[in-house]
């Protein structure tokens, strides 16, 4: 009984997910695409729950729905794409898209139909596998992921700094107006701008 | 196997993988046809999402005693967050100097 319900849930979620994904790539209003994308990501969180990965489902909602979609909406607003109605892609681009996407799908399905996936490591997923996940992330033995985890935090820091530097307001350096150094509180900032200009 | 039997049995690895390749090919279509750069970023998110779904599926159906696939999926999510931050910054900077994010007009290096 439970299996039937879960199977039905899988097919319902899969159908919603595919339809929403199609809406993401075909809608002409970019803000609506962001909302549909949020739907796809929520469905994905449901898939993770069905697969027994509760922690990942939580992370998916926190990071993807709470962070990435909001960032995308910001990007849409800041580039003033909201009032813009995107043109239909030209027939050549559309055809190219159809051919490549369908080719990939057919190739993949053919491969999957001929492959048998054998269980390599027997056993069952521990019921609450969040603890196992945490131990794996902080384990610095040969089976652990402590180093990739730390590298990942550096990557996130780098991305943050890079994002700020690329998108910040063009400062006095770029406009050619030098700030007068030694004006009370802005002394440090003035010193900084001169260093940047000097290099 | 009849049609109704397929829908009653629990989804196997192949069902899950077909679903994620469907999502992936939809993302490919989006990347190739979108004109707005932010739309392309959204299609990339679709691709990354289906890839991380794949990791979890293989974790469950191929090596169910460990959580390595889930760790990889976590890494994919983090990298996707970093990618969106940098992408958004680039598009905002681009919009400031070009007044458009239409990728068909970004041919500065063509001639």
**Helix (H, G, I), strand (E, B), or coil: what is residue B78?**
helix
Tokens of B87: 């992408």
Q: For residue A49, is it within any domain?
A: yes
Into how many domains does chain A fold? 3
Minimal Cα distance from A26: which residue of B?
B30
> Tens of pLDDT along A20-43?
999 999 988 889 999 999 999 999
Write the residue in A60, A75, A119 that is nearest to B91 by C-beta: A75
Q: Which domain holds residue A155?
A: 127-167
From first to last of its 199 residues, chain A has per-residue pLDDT tens of: 688 888 889 999 999 999 999 999 998 888 999 999 999 999 999 999 998 888 999 999 999 999 999 999 988 888 877 777 777 778 888 999 999 999 999 999 999 888 887 777 777 666 668 888 888 888 888 888 999 999 999 999 999 999 999 888 765 444 444 444 444 444 444 444 444 444 3
Asked whether residue A187 is assigned to any structural domain, the reply reads no
Residue B46 has pLDDT above 90, yes or no: yes
B41 touches A73 (CB < 8 A) = no
Q: Are residues A73 and A101 in the same domain?
A: no
Residues A80, A142, single domain; the answer is no
Q: Which domains does chain B have, with CATH numbers?
A: 3-102 (1.10.287.3510)
pLDDT of residue B7: 58
Residue A3 forms part of a structural domain: no
The confidence score (pLDDT) of residue A198 equals 40
- Burial of A112 by CB count in 10 Å (0-12 exposed, 13-18 middle, 19+ buried)? middle
The ipTM is 0.88
Phi, psi of A116 (to 5 degrees): -115, 130
Same domain for A51 and A27: yes
Output the CA torsion B79→B83→B84→B85 (10° steps): 100
User: Which residues in chain B have Cβ-Cβ distances shorter than 8 Å to A78?
Assistant: 88, 91-92, 95
What tens digit of pLDDT does each residue of A48-68 get? 999 888 899 999 999 999 999
Contacts of A24 (CB under 8 A, 6+ apart): A33, A36, A37, A40, B26, B30, B42, B43, B46
Tell me the C-alpha distance between A152 and B8, whole Å.
41
Q: Are residues A22 and A51 in the same domain?
A: yes
The Cα of B30 is separated from the nearest Cα of chain A by a number of Å equal to: 5
Q: Is residue A22 part of a domain?
A: yes
A66 in the same domain as A42:
yes
Task: Judge if A133 and A107 occupy the same domain.
Answer: no
Does the residue A182 lie in any domain? no
pLDDT of A130 reads 85
The answer on A99 and A41 residing in a single domain is: no
pLDDT tens-digit series, residues A116-129: 877 777 776 666 68
In a domain, A199, yes or no: no
pLDDT category of residue B21 using cuts at 50, 70 and 90: very high
**Which residues in chain B are closer than 8 Å to A130, comparing Cβ atoms?**
none
**What torsion, rounded to 10 degrees, do the Cα atoms B16, B22, B25, B27 define?**
-90
Do the Cβ atoms of A79 and B95 come within 8 Å? yes
Same domain, A30 and A48: yes
Name the helix (H) or strand (E) containing A5.
Answer: helix A2-26
Asked if A24's CB is within 8 angstroms of B30's CB, the reply is yes
* Together in a domain, A50 and A79: yes
Nearest to B42 among A6, A24, A44 (CB): A24
Residues A100, A151, single domain; the answer is: no
Query: A145, A137 in Cβ contact below 8 A?
Result: yes
Task: Indicate the pTM of the whole model.
Answer: 0.83
Contacts of A48 in chain B (CB under 8 A): 53, 56
Chain B hits for A137, CB-CB cut-off 8 Å, are 71, 74
Task: Examine the domain organization and report whether A80 and A43 are in the same domain.
Answer: yes
């Amino acid at each position: 009984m439970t299996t039937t319900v879960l199977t039905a849930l899988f097919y319902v979620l899969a159908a919603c997910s595919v339809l929403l994904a199609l809406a993401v790539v075909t809608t002409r209003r970019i803000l609506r695409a962001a909302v549909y994308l949020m739907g796809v990501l929520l469905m994905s969180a449901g898939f993770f729950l069905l697969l027994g990965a509760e922690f990942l489902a939580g992370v998916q909602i926190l990071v993807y729905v709470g962070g990435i979609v909001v960032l995308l909406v910001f990007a849409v607003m800041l580039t003033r794409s909201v009032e813009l109605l995107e043109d239909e892609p030209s027939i050549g681009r559309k055809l190219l898209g159809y051919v490549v996407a369908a080719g990939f799908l057919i190739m993949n399905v053919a491969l999957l139909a001929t492959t048998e996936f054998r269980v390599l490591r027997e056993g069952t997923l521990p019921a609450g596998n969040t603890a196992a996940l945490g131990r794996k992330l902080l384990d610095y033995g040969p089976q652990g992921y402590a180093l990739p985890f730390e590298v990942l935090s550096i990557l996130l820091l780098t991305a943050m700094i890079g994002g700020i530097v690329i998108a910040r307001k063009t400062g006095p350096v770029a406009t050619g107006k030098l700030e007068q150094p030694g004006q009370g509180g802005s002394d440090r900032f003035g010193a900084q701008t001169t260093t940047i200009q000097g290099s | 196997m009849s049609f109704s039997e397929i829908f009653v049995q629990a989804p196997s690895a192949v069902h899950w993988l077909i679903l994620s390749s469907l999502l992936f090919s939809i993302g490919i279509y989006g990347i190739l046809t979108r004109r707005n750069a932010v739309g392309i970023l959204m299609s990339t998110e679709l691709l990354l999402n289906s890839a991380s779904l794949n990791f979890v599926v293989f974790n469950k159906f191929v090596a169910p005693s460990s959580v390595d696939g889930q760790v990889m999926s976590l890494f994919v999510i983090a990298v996707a967050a970093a990618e969106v931050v940098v992408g958004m910054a680039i598009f905002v900077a681009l919009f400031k100097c070009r007044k458009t994010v239409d990728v068909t007009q970004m041919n500065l290096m063509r001639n």
